[in-house]
């Protein structure tokens, strides 16, 4: 699964730590999601979409391997 979290954070000038605090996870979790090492739960994906005011599909995409 690919994601555009880093881009979405940059658009609103938000750090990994700020995003982590906003959705109730650690900064390391945000880093792992951004780097593709961890696939977030549906709840976390929806929380991120809400924070960035975007549909989930604009932040997370399936890649050819999925």
Q: Among all chains, which residue has been given the structure tokens 């549909």?
A: 55
Residue 66 pLDDT > 80: no
Q: Which CATH architecture has domain 2-57?
A: Orthogonal Bundle (1.10)
What per-residue confidence (pLDDT) applies to 65?
79
Domain ranges of the chain: 2-57
Provide the pLDDT for residue 62.
92
The tens digit of pLDDT for each residue in 4-53 reads: 999 999 999 999 999 999 999 999 999 999 999 999 999 999 999 999 99
pLDDT at 64: 82
Element (H, E) at 18: helix 16-23
pTM of the shown model? 0.90
């Amino acid at each position: 699964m690919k994601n555009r979290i880093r881009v979405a954070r940059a658009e609103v000038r938000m750090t990994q730590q700020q995003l982590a605090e906003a959705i109730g996870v650690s900064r390391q979790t945000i880093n792992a999601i951004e780097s593709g090492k961890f696939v977030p739960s549906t709840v976390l994906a929806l929380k991120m979409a809400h924070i960035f005011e975007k549909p989930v599909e604009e932040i997370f995409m399936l890649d050819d391997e999925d």
